[in-house]
Amino acid sequence: MATGRTHRPATRSRGIPEATVARLPLYLRALTALSERSVPTVSSEELATAAGVNSAKLRKDFSYLGSYGTRGVGYDVEYLVYQISRELGLTQDWPVVIVGIGNLGAALANYGGFASRGFRVAALIDADPAMAGKPVAGIPVQHTDELEKIITDNGVSIGVIATPAGAAQQVCDRLVAAGITSILNFAPTVLSVPDGVDVRKVDLSIELQILAFHEQRKAGEEVAAPEEGAGAVSPPPVSPHRAPPGAPGADSGRQGPDGDVPAVMPA
Ligand SMILES: NC(=O)c1ccc[n+]([C@@H]2O[C@H](COP(=O)([O-])OP(=O)(O)OC[C@H]3O[C@@H](n4cnc5c(N)ncnc54)[C@H](O)[C@@H]3O)[C@@H](O)[C@H]2O)c1
């Protein structure tokens, strides 16, 4: 049974900090767009803007990859795409299983962005016997009774949980016992996993709550703003774009369009 893991190491193998790893997909997304436009080189400032991070952080991140760019020329786009893809393990195909094929699981199965990034949906699994055999995104749904066999037969190491929260821990335990070592959890619950298993959690409602915080703050500023010429002394303005303390992107000083951290977070 899961023993529970309460913290994650600050650095991964080969000394790349976790925060840098979390930004690599942002760089890759921006670089892929440049590559598709056949842009050969890019400056750290341009790439930082496109990725939504600050350029000093980008240069520091790339130094972990041993990539320093060429003064006056910038970074070679194709080479960086290759380097980051290799670092993220994307130069190989990763079979993925999705468990819980309801609204969300079906939407994920239909999402073309997984396959184009090297994540092949190997199987769809659901506990509802009525769904067994029904195709979703062209893949027949399989019953949870088959879970262990499916994982072994397909050599799957990444599982996606899209079940109701109440079922997620039990599904997680079965996935882990069957050999899954990475889990992307969409269920709104904290999963307990043994050492050696990585869990990432996506929660769009948390992102909305952070936006609600900013909306509330903006509304408060409008109410508090003194009328011109009234002579009132107001406190220095607080940027509405700063994240609340402890939130993703907090204390980063500056955030790009997406913030510095993607809307996926450690469990
Ligand atoms: N993270 C996010 O941003 C986000 C967004 C939407 C929904 N969610 C969460 O995703 C989950 C799924 O939402 P939904 O709208 O697709 O729900 P849904 O009810 O449409 O689908 C849930 C599916 O899980 C299956 N299921 C239940 N128990 C199972 C088990 N033990 N093993 C395998 N399958 C099982 C059900 O048969 C059903 O098909 C919920 O936990 C929801 O809160 C998260």
Which residues, including other chains, have CB under 8 Å from residue 164's CB and lie 6 or more apart?
100, 187
Do 124 and 36 share a domain, yes or no?
no
Last residue of a domain, one of 87, 103, 130: 87
- Please give the residue range of the domain that contains residue 128: 94-202
The finding on whether 101 has its CB within 6 A of some atom of ligand 1 is yes
> Per the structure block, which two tokens stand in for 113?
């962005």
Whether complex ipTM tops 0.85: yes
CATH number at residue 135: 3.40.50.720
Ligand 1 mean position to 177 CA, how many Å?
21
Residue ranges of the binding site: 100-105
Beta pairing, strands 135-136 & 139-143: antiparallel
Q: Whose CA is nearest to atom 31 of ligand 1?
A: 167
Mean of per-residue pLDDT scores for the chain: 83
Amino acid, res. 9: P
pLDDT in tens, 159-195: 999 999 999 999 999 999 999 999 999 999 999 999 9
CA–CA gap between residue 201 and residue 187 (Å, rounded) = 8
Do 137 and 81 share a domain, yes or no?
no
The pTM of the whole model exceeds 0.80: no
Ligand 1 mean position to 6 CA, how many Å?
24
Q: Whose CA is nearest to atom 21 of ligand 1?
A: 102
Ligand 1 mean position to 233 CA, how many Å?
52
Let me know if residue 135 belongs to a domain: yes
Residue from 125, 126, 142 to probe ligand 1 pocket by mutation (most atoms less than 8 Å from CB): 126
Do 162 and 104 share a domain, yes or no?
yes
pLDDT in tens, 227-254: 555 544 444 444 444 444 444 443 333 3
Let me know if residue 1 belongs to a domain: no
Let me know if residue 213 belongs to a domain: no
Beta bridge partners of 142: 125
